[in-house]
Amino acid sequence: MLGAYVHSYVEDLKWTLQEIDAAVLAAIVDALVEARQERRQVLIMGNGGSAATASHLACDLGKGTIDRANPGFRRFRALSLADNTALMSALGNDLSFEDVFSEQLATVMCDGDVVIAISASGNSPNLVRAVEYARSRDAVTIGLLGFGGGHLAGIVDHALVVSSRNYGLSEDFHLIVQHVVTQYIRRALAGPARPVAFLDRDGVINERPGPHQYVERWEQFRFVEGAVPMLRGLRDRGYSLIVVTNQQGIGKGVMTESALRLIHDEMVRSLAREGVSLTGILHCPHREQDGCYCRKPRPGLIHRAMNETSFMIDLPRSILIGDSASDAFAGHAAGVGTLVHVGRPEGRVPDGTHVVETVLDVLDAVPAGVLAAL
């Protein structure tokens, strides 16, 4: 019974997340970034689980987006109105619970601030009253809403609505949306998006072992001829370097995660001695028959890279370099702009793939002018 319910909940959540309206999300991000630039406040409110999300959003905007290395960095002025228990209980007891947010806005809000209401139902009277007050003061109003939006959907400037009438799914949706927004903003504020060279490992950086064999320890690792100059040339052209590699030997029990980590640690040290620095190494440990999302030809490793780097990756200006069709299809599925296949393709590859004989020829296929575009 539990397994069936877990499956139904996860599947329902997957479909719920597909309701994210990209245009509305972009308008919300623009409103928040503009408020930060103009030193206006972002005031957030919600009840119950949505109160926790309001606190979480204030935390992630206030702390999760800052650049501590830059003393002049302009921070978000974000505040959750659901956090002061003494004030909320006093307002609720002495006036009414419908006043707990509008009265706080009357105290702290300035004309033109951003006010965010988070509600599963979209009909909470205290949120409706607060939004109506905020609109009277020319605030930019945003609603993260469930149950089709309710009354709030018709009175906020930007309504991001999910149709689910399950409180848990609606609140999951809102929490995920706040993470998408704040993590996107953090990367956007880190500077211009950067092109990345995504690199398969076996056959591109190190020599492939024999059929159905794996590099199980560093002593078996041999750099491909020309790999280090290729990496150095990619670096000099402005690419950050990220390795994306299938390592199903782990799933088969042939080697361990710790053994792979030791190999990669030594690879990083060896490349550093050659003046080459890797931004990241991502691997899939699963077997081919496991059907995981991260094993190439699926794009999961590239998507992980998008979410694990500290900067925004410019996929159209990025490249993927591999020696198998699965590499090319993974890059194509993720939206990588240029695909470079090393060696003769063993079957169909996506249209537009550059084919080179060896890694020594890779730089000839790499788009020119990357540095000039940065």
CA distance 143 to 31: 12
pLDDT for the residue numbered 180: 97
pLDDT in tens, the chain (374 residues): 999 999 999 999 999 999 999 999 999 999 999 999 999 999 999 999 999 999 999 999 999 999 988 888 999 999 999 999 999 999 999 999 999 999 999 999 999 999 999 999 999 999 999 999 999 999 999 999 999 999 999 999 999 999 999 999 999 999 999 999 999 999 999 999 999 999 999 999 999 988 888 999 999 999 999 999 999 999 999 999 999 999 999 999 999 999 999 999 999 999 999 999 999 999 999 999 999 999 999 999 999 999 999 999 999 999 999 999 999 999 999 999 999 999 988 888 998 899 999 999 999 988 876 765 55
Cα–Cα nearest to 190, from 326, 334, 346, 69? 69
Parallel/antiparallel/unpaired status of strands 319-322 and 41-46:
unpaired
pLDDT at 371: 63
Contacts of residue 261, defined as CB under 8 A and 6 or more positions apart, other chains included, come to none
Q: Which tokens in the block code for residue 319?
A: 């490249």
Closest CA to 321 of 330, 310, 311, 333: 330
pLDDT at 68: 87
Domains of the chain from N-terminus onward? 2-189 (3.40.50.10490), 196-373 (3.40.50.1000)
Q: Which residues partner with 284 through β-bridges?
A: 246
CA quadruple 176, 181, 184, 186: dihedral sign: negative
Return the half-sphere exposure (C-beta side, CA atoms, 13 A cut-off) of residue 25: 18
In this structure, what token pair is assigned to residue 269?
A: 């040290």
Q: How many CB atoms lie within 10 A of CB 298?
A: 18
Q: CB–CB of 137/114 below 8 Å?
A: no
SS (H, E, C) the chain: CHHHHHHHHHHHHHHHHCCCCHHHHHHHHHHHHHHHHCCCEEEEEECCHHHHHHHHHHHHHHCCCCCCCCCCCCCCEEEECCCCHHHHHHHHHHCCHHHCCHHHHHHHCCCCCEEEEEECCCCCHHHHHHHHHHHHCCCEEEEEECCCCCHHHHCCCEEEECCCCCHHHHHHHHHHHHHHHHHHHHHHHCCCCECEEEECCECCCECCCCCCCCCCCHHHCCECCCHHHHHHHHHHCCCEEEEEEECCCCCCCCCCHHHHHHHHHHHHHHHHHCCCCCCEEEEECCCHHHCCCCCCCCCHHHHHHHHHCCCCECHHHCEEEECCHHHHHHHHHHCCCEEEEECCCCCCCCCCCEEECCHHHHHHHCCCCHHHHC
Distance (Å, whole) CA 353 – CA 322: 11
**What whole-number distance in Å separates Cα of residue 125 and Cα of residue 167?**
17
Q: Which residues partner with 242 through β-bridges?
A: 198, 280
How far, in Å, CA of 50 to CA of 171, rounded? 7
For 14, 16, 22, the CA distances from 11, given in Å and listed in that order, are 5, 9, 21
pTM listed for this prediction: 0.91
Query: pLDDT value at position 372?
Result: 57
Structure tokens at 217: 């320890």
